[in-house]
Amino acid sequence: AQRVTQPEKLLSVFKGAPVELKCNYSYSGSPELFWYVQYSRQRLQLLLRHISRESIKGFTADLNKGETSFHLKKPFAQEEDSAMYYCALSGGSNYKLTFGKGTLLTVNP
């Protein structure tokens, strides 16, 4: 079974502070991990995927298979980063995407 855990429902930081959104997963095979972002009243958007190893909007995430984690990090948070962030996992041939419960990030001025 696929499972994604985001332990923090809410996260509040000040502008310019580092931010880390935690994500742990459970999957028996080789998963593909994603981070999606949902800004207020907008559709879900892909932020990054582990296989591309890109840095989008200053965010990075490293897949740690030993700790089964895929934490999202940004060294200096901006107010426009305030949004809902979902970690997601895809595994198997059916391409089913399983989401974590999400973390609402608020960046205060």
Q: Which residues bind another protein (CB under 8 A)?
A: 34, 36, 42-46, 49, 86, 90, 94-102
Q: Using the minimum distance from each CB to another protein, give the nearer residue, 66 or 95.
A: 95
For 101, half-sphere exposure in the C-beta direction (CA atoms, 13 angstrom radius) is 6
Answer left, alpha or beta for residue 92, where phi above 0 means left and psi between -120 and 50 means alpha: left
* Least distance between another protein and beta carbon 44 (Å): 4
Residue 57 has phi, psi (to 5 degrees) of: 55, 30
Q: Using the minimum distance from each CB to another protein, give the nearer residue, 15 or 98.
A: 98
* Least distance between another protein and beta carbon 49 (Å): 7
